[in-house]
Amino acid sequence: MSEPVPSVVTPSPAEPAAEPAAESAAEPTAPSTAGSTPAPAGIDPRGPRFGAALTAVLLVGVLLLGSSPAATALLAVVAAGFALGVAFGVGGTWQGVVFRKVVRPRLAPPTELEDPRPPRFAQLVGLVVTGAGLLLALAGVPGAVPVSAAFALVAAFLNAVFGLCLGCELYLLGVRLRARA
């Protein structure tokens, strides 16, 4: 039986506290605990929160535009950002690039690093929510775009303001359930 995955990875003195340029399939791994799979190198937890704040701003724009074609296009931009997050991890999104190039150099190094797998799963959840809204809008369902944007906005707002990542919590719940099975 494997142990649950910790949501925080503490860097050792020998490890730099820098976020990788972008996550990839060949992610470096941190030392593992006995009996578990190695965790990928940690990421700066402020990056996903910053990305969630930028996403929330875009989602507010979607809601202000209502059910117009511009709202659908803006939701498609948000969904594309989530798709990048699923494919390359949170560091591979446009928000991750802005954080890494503009914001992070102005901040002190993080005191702890976060396992990148829960935020990456959260990107998948965001993609499913926004993608469903887009598909339903293309199928002619009225109000699909603002409804999916509202759901995604709640999650992005909670992450940006309170550090509560709903997708990350779902990931950890899945890990716990698999550990029981």
123 has a pLDDT exceeding 50: yes
Q: Rounded to two decimals, what is the model's pTM?
A: 0.80
What is the Cα 166 distance to its own chain's centre?
10
**Which tens digits make up the pLDDT trace of 19-60?**
444 433 333 444 444 455 676 789 999 999 999 999 999 999
What are the tens digits of pLDDT across the range 144-166? 999 999 999 999 999 999 999 99
Question: Please, which residues have CB within 8 angstroms of residue 64's CB and are 6 or more apart in sequence?
Answer: none
Q: Where are the domains of the chain?
A: 45-107+115-180
CA distances from 74 to 1, 62, 80, 124, 179 (A): 44, 6, 10, 18, 39
